[in-house]
Amino acid sequence: MLRRSTPEHLSGVLDAIEASLPELGRWLPFALRMPTEAEEMQVLADAQIAFDGDIDWMYTMFDQSAEVVGSAALHCRPESCCAEIGYWVRTDRTGRGYATSATRMLVDAAFGYLLPINWVEIRMDNANLASAAIPRKLGFVLDRHVDRPVQTSGHTGRGMIWKLTRERWDRRRSG
Ligand SMILES: CC(C)(COP(=O)(O)OP(=O)(O)OC[C@H]1O[C@@H](n2cnc3c(N)ncnc32)[C@H](O)[C@@H]1OP(=O)(O)O)[C@@H](O)C(=O)NCCC(=O)NCCS
């Protein structure tokens, strides 16, 4: 289940980050060290303001037992008619389809509610094969490889940009 992120999720989110720090820190700069309570509280408060302002939509992922198992976000870039999706999943809950389900929901939300959006992108390092498996499964097309800054131990300096157009999404939904 995805719920919009709020400061109420603080302890669950911190637990999930702490339990996953080596894996998250390999790819995500925010997890190079354990964020403090105050830092994470600020992230969640900012996310709530951005959500209310219809600027950016960050969700906390919960499993059936209502435990926090990750996060997924939809970032809108209206100047380029594009939305971007990002995600992470608690290490002991990976491989269960959570990131794929969350991404599918955010793609539907982007095309369903963000009318100027013509395509959705997902970006990751060339070496992040688990992350690349998600857009591939959902019918995204590998659009291009780009140079990227090396910010974590897993980064290679090259990244992939996967793209799903509204037209392709419409075609896949209709059959
Ligand atoms: C990437 C990540 C979000 C995946 O979350 P998840 O809930 O395990 O994802 P799913 O279960 O929906 O799908 C994962 C897919 O990756 C595949 N996969 C996992 N490791 C892989 C690897 N080393 N090589 C190729 N595919 C791999 C799995 O087999 C699965 O595909 P399948 O369902 O066809 O078998 C999670 O591993 C994570 O949080 N990683 C650290 C943070 C991160 O990299 N975030 C993304 C930054 S761009």
| Segments making up each domain of the chain, as ranges | 2-173
Among 23, 62, 88, 123, residue to substitute to test ligand 1 (most atoms within 8 Å of Cβ): 88
pLDDT of 17 > 90? The answer is yes
**pLDDT tens by residue, 79-132:** 778 999 999 999 999 999 999 999 999 999 999 998 789 999 999 999 999 999
- Beta-carbon contacts of 94 under 8 Å, excluding residues fewer than 6 positions away, are 23, 130
Using the predicted structure, report yes or no on whether residue 175 has a pLDDT greater than 80.
no
The confidence score (pLDDT) of residue 157 equals 98
Average the pLDDT over each of 55-69, 76-90, 123-137 and give the range with the smallest value: 76-90
Q: What is the model's pTM?
A: 0.96
| Ligand 1: centre distance to CA 42 (Å) | 27
Half-sphere exposure (Cβ direction) of 160: Cα atoms closer than 13 Å: 19
Count of CB atoms situated within 10 Å of the CB of 89: 24
Kindly state the tokens that stand for 48: 């709530």
CATH fold label, 2-173: Aminopeptidase (3.40.630)
Q: Which atom of ligand 1 is nearest to the CA of 88?
A: 39
pLDDT band at residue 172 under the 50/70/90 scheme: confident
Protein residue whose Cα sits closest to atom 3 of ligand 1:
88
